[in-house]
Amino acid sequence: MTRPFLFRHQTQTIAYELVGNGPPLLLLHGFPQTRAMWRPLVPPLSEEFTVVTADLRGYGDSSKPEAMRDMSFRHMAQDMVELMASLGHSAFHAVGHDRGARTVHRMALDHPHIVQSATVMDIVPTEHLLAEMTTEIAKAYYHWLFLAQPFPFPETMIGHDPDAYFERCLLGFGKATLDDFEPDLLAEYRAAWRNPECIRSMCHDYRAAIEIDWAQDREDLNRKVTCPALVLYGKDGAMARLLDVPDTWRDRLSDMHYAAIDGGHFFPDQSPEATTKALLGFLKTL
């Protein structure tokens, strides 16, 4: 396990790692992972970029807010803007998977002069997912509704066996087995999600998505992300099976590129080389 640097601002502490030289590139993980998910991709990316991998607030080694309102994507995005500024980067490329991708989307809307490019991995816009949720989507992504139930119901249920619940999440979003996740990375995820404060924060993340982020996204329906944007998604994942992923983004991104990668929702773990190739192919054109 790599010991992180810690960035403290206001009431939060953000854990991060830094490697490489070149233009700044921020990588943000999703649920229920940590910054460790990027480790297989960092060596080739760091040959071209200064790579920053960070734990979102509420996750991994970052601080765990007690209030639901503090787990909104707007707060998560602001954390990262301030982290990158502290490292001397007034503008940077941003890449996110899952919750990290939703953070990148919000960051690109709130800080268009800072985000030079935005890459979102295996998500459709939050507003679209919630407003257009069908029975099939709700069945595949039931955790959105389960984790958003009032405290402490989901926390209590998950707390009885965190590994059983979160490992099911790793396997449940499309074509994955535990063998797809490197053992040392899986050990780091387990260490993080066994923390009751982390479980609470992750539930707050999903509560905030419905109670706070959805309304903010509705307010921004007439706004587009103006920087170049890359939409990557798992060719065999639930999102690709149920939705036309690129089409959900067409009206929200001014300059959209997209590609499907072999694997399911966790295609960066399943196909790290293909993911890295797609990222570098996009970023080198900018």
Catalytic center residues: 98, 265
Of 187, 170, 191, 193, residue with least CA distance to 265:
170
Radius of gyration in angstroms for the set of CA atoms belonging to the chain, rounded to a whole number: 17
- Annotate the chain with three-state secondary structure: CCCCEEEEECCEEEEEEEECCCCEEEEECCCCCCHHHHCCCHHHHHCCCEEEEECCCCCCCCCCCCCHHHHCHHHHHHHHHHHHHHCCCCCEEEEEECHHHHHHHHHHHHCCCCEEEEEEECCCCHHHHHHCCCHHHHHHCCHHHHHCCCCCHHHHHHHCCHHHHHHHHHHHCCCCCHHHCCHHHHHHHHHHHCCHHHHHHHHHHHHHHHHHHHHHHHHCCCCCEEEEEEEEEECCCHHHHHCCHHHHHCCCEEEEEEEEECCCCCHHHHCHHHHHHHHHHHHCCC
- Compute CA distances 70 → 77, 195, 201, 258, whole Å: 12, 18, 9, 32
Q: Rounded to the nearest 5°, which phi and psi values hold at 229? A: -135, 140
